[in-house]
Structure 1
Amino acid sequence: MVLVPGQTIPLHLFHQHTVAMIKGVVDSDKTFGIVAHRFSPTDNSSTIANIGTTAEIYSVKDETDDHTGLSSIRVKARGRQRFEILETKRSPTGILMAKVAILPEKVLPDFLLGARPDSHCKFCCRPEEGVVTHTAVDRNGQVLASISMLNNRQINKFTSAYCTPWPPWVYEMYDPELVVERIKKELQQWNNTLNPEKLPNDAIELSYWVAQNLPLDDTRRLNLLSLNNAIQRLRCALSIIQKCSVLCCKDCNVPISHKTEVFCMSVEGPLGAYVNPGGHIHETLTVYKVQNVDLIGRPTKEHSWFPGYAWTIAQCKSCNSHLGWRFTATKRNLTPEKFYGITRASVVPGLEQQDEENEWMPSL
């Protein structure tokens, strides 16, 4: 997986050298690094990404099997800082060690600061839109008069752009407040459960939240993670959000779910990382409805990630690839009664286009 700063990752480890490594990390600074690791389908060679994220452990549960005496460990960690790998080596126990450089977050300055006269500084706050009410009160707080008038302010924080070679709209494209507002507006169109008020207001935090919760493949997520500026990350994410209308099967490209079906089952967002009893991590996106999906087997409550729900394996009807699971409520008064968990690794964002027969035609 590609860990993003702020993202929570659960781990269930069995291999003894990995368990020993994590125990050593817990006894020291509780921090280790996570990088994406891939195997080539042609020659079975492995490669690792040159960008990763540090993870800080905040919960540990050490377990020992009574029959074999082997140790296993469950930990929860949270992504902290991005880093670039400078060089790597293997320890005698097989653990991959790396010399890394922490990637700093670059904050764009106010480009109009030098062109803005002092008399315009009081207009740098964003004006209220529509009708503005001015109220006069006495010393006791009693309203003496109230006047409503249209806000026709001609000067704002971008007016001084006319003193530069570039028009105001160029600077508006990179204004943190406006970019954050556009991202929230686009996300709200996906589904009303993505409440803009619950999303981070800080540009850096929101850029990582979006990178974590968008159903992107590893390559696109790594590209976002490699960017050192939050505005650039948000602008790239905004382009993807505006173009994405449908989620498609990664292997055969048939449509699986629409963006309006995405909802938040977790407090962290619509996409969360879950670990199964075998130690495999599945980043799972929750959606209300799907199409072109077959169910395999009967529902079971065993090891369910969502208490009160039973899961059933879901696969693509076209190519039989594993997509995720359907979760159905086993208790009354649970909302929703059913939903689907689609793994991030099984879908890619696509574009919705309508042909003459009004069918979905995904395009990447």
Structure 2
Amino acid sequence: MEDNRQQRLLERELYQIEQIRQLDSEELEIEEVENGHQSSDDDQIDERAFAGTSASGGYTFNTSLASMHSYLGEVEDTHNRLAFLDGGVILHVPLFYLEGVVLFPEATLPLRVIQPNFIAAVDRALRQVEAPYTIGVVRVFRDGDNGRIKFATTGTTAEIRQYRRLEDGSINVVTRGQQRFRLKRRWIELEGAPCGEIQIIEEDLPLRTPRDAFGKLTPLRNLSTANVSHSKLLDHDSDDSFESELSLTERRLHASAIKSSSHRNFFSESTSSDDESPVCEPQPLLHSRNNESIEDMSAKKYVSERPRRRAQREFRSVPGPRECPRAFWPYWVYRMHDSYCLAQRLSDMWKKIVGTPSMDALVRQPGLLSFHVASKIPVSESTRQELLEIDGISYRLRREIELLENFDQIKCRSCQTLIANRSDMLVMSTDGPLGAYVNPSGYVHEIMTLLKASGLALIGVPTEEYSWFPGYAWTVAYCATCEYQMGWLFTATNKKLKPRSFWGIRSSQVADDTH
């Protein structure tokens, strides 16, 4: 029985490798792809947080070892750092298409290049002038209906940071994601290197809540008496004001709202439950009891002079208006799209759910934070491809918050068997709870690490050869229900090494049940 299972598992693994090799021999015609719609240094991530968490959990494994990809052997630094390209730039670069992998800017991608066409692609990247040491990485997947290979139209450029050419002609490479791009078309060059025409995506700027920009302006309670012209209000603090970032049409609308507010001097409390300061809006005064405007009450012709004076007294009894931003919408509306507020919320949620790596150093860079979380969030590869294709920073941050809120269980994609819960996650690398690793056959796996797992069976004996986690031996694990390979069990070979064991689960085999 065990021999039969082992044989079936080996056949599945060979079949997966053969699927990738089919891409070598497949005749890829030039194909037009339908158009679709900054960085920091490595030391921006506070890696001290990993050591603190590991120590508190009693773990002795050095998590920085896994991110070094030492199993690739010695590699040489290229000493090349490509300057970031402007959005809209069109390039011709060698193309790497990988199954089960989604690369994000700033993420590390190790490669063991064995296939002749990809060796030719690396050679072309090393000698090209237009974008030296740069390749384009796109995800490939098989259509569920007919099994045909399909290419994602959004990918990421990767810069070759380290490489080593081995005696057998293969190349070990360590790359780092740079910038997103749209794949325009692809072809095979004469020497066999797959290439593509790509267009660099122009990343948007983080959205800001105008509250800070308005904080220095005259409060609405003084507008009726302040001897300040409307034009001067718009010009005040123009260097960093909210109005200076608006288009001409948006500025006119905002100016109209300010002008309307200056004549009426109305005040209403914010509807936000977590915003203590009131927010001013250009709307009629609301009665404090039934939220019915006094103008509407007048229209109904049943408000006498006495109730009117009582309403005015009640309004005056409300604490006096504070200096509030002169924005058209309530503050809580802006916070829904404010990139910095969302970044702080995502960082706090990550710290609570995942723990490490710490995201505090990236909160002030919402765009970089959104890519950083997307490259490490333990969800399926199709969901991560969805995150890569989102253009707006605030929308990507909101989607990641939603994913963390809904992320609770890890299930087998094939049979929906429950493998683990969110609480079983374990960070074994400075790259976070999910990272990319390459096996001796050149197949790249993105795995999430778990302390506990269920519904899995082991095959074969533990081996230390080519282990992604130094000091641990690996054993192939497959789903006990559908017998698809789910990943590996890693067991410590040193009695002093903790944790004693953990699981590595392939993200490509995880069910996509997030909403």
Calculate the TM-score normalised by the size of structure 2. Answer: 0.57
Q: Which residue of 2 aligns with 1:240?
A: 403
Is 1:300 the counterpart of 2:463? The answer is yes
Name the one with the larger helix percent: 2
| Structure 1 or 2: more strand by fraction | 1
Aligned to 1:55: 158
CA shift, 1:195, in A, is 3.7
Instruction: Tell me the SS of whatever aligns to 1:214.
Output: coil
Shift of 1:248: 0.9
Counterpart mapping for 1:241-280 below 5 A: 241-280=404-443
**Structure 2 match to 1:316:** 479
Aligned to 1:55, the other structure's residue is in SS state strand
Q: Is the 8 A contact 2:279 2:330 kept in 1?
A: no
* Native 8 Å contact 2:182 2:198 kept in 1: yes
Q: Indicate which of 211, 214, 224 corresponds to 2:387.
A: 224
Query: How far has the Cα of 1:112 moved from its partner?
Result: 2.6
Structure 2 CA distance for aligned equivalents of residues 5 and 44 of structure 1: 29
Secondary structure at 2:152's aligned position in 1?
Answer: strand
Contact 1:245–1:350 (CA<8 Å) still a contact in 2? no
Matched, 1:183 2:358: no
Do 2:183 and 2:198's aligned partners in 1 also have CA atoms closer than 8 Å? yes
Q: CA 1:59–1:294 in 2, change beyond 3 Å: closer, same or farther? A: same
Aligned partner of 1:204 among 364, 367, 370: 367
Q: Can you give the 5+ residue segments of structure 1 that lack an aligned partner in the other structure?
A: 66-70, 125-151, 352-363
Aligned equivalent of 2:87: none
Cα distance between partner residues in 2 of 1:61 and 1:237: 36
What do the CA deviations read for 1:320-358 (whole angstroms, capped 9, x no partner)?
Answer: 11111111111122121111111111113547xxxxxxx
Distance 1:304 1:184, change over 3 A: same
Q: Which moved more, 1:95-104 or 1:106-115?
A: 106-115
* Structure 1 residues 110-145: Cα deviation after superposition (integer angstroms, max 9, x where no partner): 3537982634799x9xxxxxxxxxxxxxxxxxxxxx
Task: Judge conservation of contact 2:491–2:500 (CA < 8 Å) in 1.
Answer: yes
Please say if residues 280 and 330 of structure 2, whose CA atoms lie closer than 8 Å, have aligned partners that are also in contact.
Answer: no
Give the letter aligned to residue 49 of structure 1.
A
Match in the other structure for 1:118? 216
Q: 1:119 to 1:312 in 2, by over 3 A?
A: same
Match of 1:250, as an amino acid?
R
Structure number with bigger Rg: 2
- Counterpart of 1:74 in structure 2 is 172
Instruction: Show the counterpart of 1:95.
Output: 193
The match for 2:496 among 323, 333, 336 is 333
Give me the TM-score of the superposition, normalised by structure 1: 0.79
Partner of 1:14: 114
Q: Distance in 2 between matches of 1:157 and 1:74?
A: 60
Q: Which residue of 2 aligns with 1:361?
A: none
Deviations 1:78-122 (A, max 9, x none): 010000012223322333322211001101443537982634799
Residue matched to 2:508: 345
DSSP 3-state at the match of 1:64: coil
1:32 partnered with 2:135: yes
- RMSD over equivalenced CA pairs, Å: 2.9
- Return the letter of the residue paired with 2:133: K
User: Do the aligned residues in 2 keep the contact of 1:162 with 1:168 (CA within 8 Å)?
Assistant: no
Count residues in correspondence.
318
Contact 1:189 1:260 in 2 (8 A): no
CA contact 1:308–1:331 (8 Å) conserved in 2: yes
Q: Distance in 2 between matches of 1:293 and 1:240?
A: 25
Measured against aligned partners, the alpha-carbon deviations of 1:143-198 in whole angstroms (never above 9, x if no partner) come to: xxxxxxxxx9847999756741x322111122222211211222223243444446
**Cα drift, residue 201 of structure 1:** 4.4
Query: Partner letter of residue 390 of structure 2?
Result: L
Q: Which residue number in structure 1 is paired with residue 202 of structure 2?
A: 104
User: 1:230 Cα shift?
Assistant: 1.8
Alpha carbons of structure 1 residues 114 and 64: separation in structure 2 relative to 1, 3 Å = closer
Say if 1:115 and 1:160, in contact at 8 Å, map to a contact too.
no
* CA shift in 2, pair 1:33/1:193, >3 Å: closer
Higher relative contact order (CA closer than 8 Å, sequence separation 6+): 2
Q: Tell me the distance in 2 between the aligned counterparts of 1:317 and 1:207.
A: 36
Asked if 1 retains the 8 angstrom alpha-carbon contact of 2:383 and 2:512, the reply is no
Distance 1:275 1:115 in 2: 49
Aligned partner letter, 2:406: K
Cα offset, 1:35, TM superposition: 0.8
Instruction: Assess, with a 3 A threshold, how the Cα gap between structure 1 residues 215 and 157 changes in structure 2: closer, same or farther.
Output: farther
Q: 1:39 to 1:109 in 2, by over 3 A?
A: closer
Q: Pick one of 332, 336, 344 that aligns with 1:173.
A: 336
Distance in 1 of aligned mates of 2:391 and 2:278: 32
In the TM superposition, residue 37 of structure 1 has moved relative to its aligned partner by 1.4
Unaligned runs of 5+ in 2: 1-100, 219-235, 241-274, 282-322
CA–CA separation in structure 2 for the residues paired with 1:210 and 1:11: 22
Q: Give the Cα separation in 2 of the matches to 1:196 and 1:9.
A: 20
Deviation at 1:4, TM superposition (A): 0.8
**Identity in percent:** 31
Q: Give 1:140's aligned residue.
A: none
Runs of 4+ in 1 over 6 A off after TM superposition: 155-159
Greater mean alpha carbon deviation, residues 184-193 or residues 44-53: 184-193
Alpha-carbon distance in 1 for matches of 2:406, 2:449: 20
State the match for 1:134 in structure 2.
none
Distance 1:161 1:96, change over 3 A: farther
Partner of 2:76: none
The 8 Å contact of residues 460 and 475 in structure 2, kept in 1 or not, is answered as yes
Comparing 304-313 with 289-298, greater Cα deviation is found at 289-298
